[in-house]
């Protein structure tokens, strides 16, 4: 039985990330790490560079076909990433 001031580990970690103001960086790193799961192996294997800066997802992709598909599905991909993060983490996708 939990006491009223007890927290789950998840709640405690969330609170710690917010207190130290590192939640956004943690979420960004999590999205980069789960890129293969989010987009599939074929896209992940052709992604040569990925990082997030100022709410923009920067990608270097070697396949022009995949680059074009990502451009077309831009809004859906941003929505999927933000849904996974639980906040507005990405507002744009930029190709390097």
- Segment 7-59, tens digit of pLDDT: 788 888 888 877 887 888 888 888 889 999 999 999 999 999 999 999 999 99
What are the Cα distances from residue 15, in Å, to 11, 22, 57, 63, 80?
6, 10, 25, 40, 24
Domain boundaries, the chain: 24-95
Rounded to two decimals, the pTM is 0.79
Show the DSSP H helices in the chain as ranges. Answer: 9-19, 23-33, 35-39, 41-46, 64-72, 74-85
């Amino acid at each position: 039985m939990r006491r009223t001031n007890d927290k789950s580990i998840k709640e405690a970690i969330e609170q710690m990330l917010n207190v130290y103001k590192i939640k956004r960086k943690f979420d960004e790193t999590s999205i980069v790490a789960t890129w293969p799961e989010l987009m599939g192996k074929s896209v992940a294997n052709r992604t040569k560079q990925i990082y997030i800066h100022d709410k923009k997802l920067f990608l270097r992709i070697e396949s022009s076909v995949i680059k074009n598909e990502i451009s077309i599905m831009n809004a859906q991909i941003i929505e999927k990433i933000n849904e996974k993060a639980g906040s507005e983490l990405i507002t744009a996708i930029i190709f390097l």
